[in-house]
A and B are shown apart, each in its own frame.
Chain A
Amino acid sequence: MKIAIDERYCTGCGICIEVCPKNIFKDSYMRSQQGYLMPEIKNEKNCIECNLCEKLCPEMCINVVSEEVSQV
């Protein structure tokens, strides 16, 4: 699982923090390129790929990439 927030476009609205059912996004003191307070990603491995963060981000700056499932 790889979750990335594009710091060029994040406006710190906080919707991803509220909507994630696994509480992967948290408030932080990191700043985006435009100066907004950005969320940080904790416990990325808990992601269940519901994609709610992708669908509800108003700047479309969150991308959830599925990891290949190993055959072993």
Chain B
Amino acid sequence: MLDLAEKYLRKDALPTIFCPGCGDGQILNATIKAIDDLKIRKNIASVSGIGCSGWIPVYLDMDVLHSIHGRAVAAAEGLKLSSPDKKILVFTGDGDCVGIGGNHFIHAARRNIDLTVIMVNNFIYGMTGGQKAPTTPLKAITKTSPYGNSERAFDASRLAITAGATYVARWATIYPNKLEAAIKKGIEHEGFSFIEVLSQCPVQTGKYIMNETNPWNMMNWFKENTEIKNNIGEKNSEKIRLGEFINEEEEEFSTQLAEVRRKFNENSN
């Protein structure tokens, strides 16, 4: 087993529940590299939601909060405010984050609370068998859209930018070095960091939407149908934009709140 994995993974929870070739495992791979490089093992905790992505941090040998569907960001906000000196990493899926969790997501971004949200986008509700999600493309075939999806899809990164996130990046599992660098930057960034990762789900997305179940071919599809630019560009562009879209410094929520608390204490003395 990889040396870093020996160091960071919870051996008694292995083997993983990930299907062969699942992007979730590659994202976990990039995460342990990032945590090791930053040397913050003692100062970081993870929160996850429900779905296959919810299992990513469960294999990490550190404090992990596996919360309920859509509430990963909400639980993480609470955890951050109670432990403001810790860095909080949030693993969520496309359905978990912009579906049922949509409201928590937009307000956490608006508040610019110091979290690093990694949204694993497989364009489907994978764990439950392949139902269409808010990120499923128009006309795509899924278990609940056998004649084609009649809804347009969210661009989660664009939503994060509009809601006010101060670090937004999108990568895919075919770019492990870029992904690791983005996770490091997101963790170090003092503010709401949002990293969307296009990730292959060979069993559901592959079978139904892409008609391709080989994980390497799916990863290459992510390479061929994307372009790397440093801005998110126009809606409905031909290729999906990857890259670092926003990286700004603005007042962070938990430090603001601490300041309010300090003023209150001063006043009451």
Residues of chain A whose beta carbon lies under 8 Å from any beta carbon of chain B: 6, 8-9, 11-15, 18-19, 34, 36, 54-63
Contacts and interface: CB of A to CB of B under 8 A. Distances in A.
Nearest to A19: B216
A14 to B, nearest CB: 7
Given A12-B20, A34-B15, A57 B2 contact: yes
Interface in B212-244: 214-216, 219
Q: Is the interface of A mostly helix, strand, loop or mixed?
A: loop
Contacts of A63: 1-3
A15 B1 contact: no
A40 B177 CA distance: 26
Given A9-B15, A19-B216, A60 B4 contact: yes
Nearest to A58: B25
Contacts of A58: 18, 20-26, 29, 215
Contacts, number: 74
Interface of B: 1-5, 9, 14-16, 18-26, 28-30, 32-33, 173, 176-177, 214-216, 219
Given A18-B216, A63-B1, A57 B29 contact: yes
A13 B21 contact: yes
A8 B108 CA distance: 40
A14 B216 contact: yes
Contact of A62 (B2, B20, B26, B33): B2
Nearest to A17: B216
Contact of A56 (B15, B19, B24, B176): B176
Contacts of A11: 15, 18-21
A60 B176 contact: no
Nearest to B25: A58
B25 to A, nearest CB: 3
Given A9-B1, A13-B21, A15-B21, A59 B16 contact: yes
A55 B23 CA distance: 12
A14 B15 CA distance: 17
Contacts of A36: 20
A15 B19 CA distance: 13
A36 B216 CA distance: 17
Contacts of B176: 55-56
11 contacts: A6-B1, A11-B19, A14-B21, A15-B215, A56-B26, A56-B29, A58-B18, A59-B15, A60-B32, A61-B1, A61-B2
Contacts of A59: 15-16, 18, 25
Given A15-B216, A36-B20, A57 B3 contact: no
Given A11-B21, A55-B29, A60 B2 contact: yes
Contact of B1 (A12, A14, A19, A60): A60
B73 to A, nearest CB: 25
Nearest to B1: A6
Nearest to A6: B1
For the complex of A and B, list the 10 residue pairs with the smallest distance between their C-beta atoms, beginning with the closest.
A58-B25, A13-B21, A11-B20, A60-B5, A13-B20, A18-B216, A55-B176, A60-B2, A6-B1, A63-B2
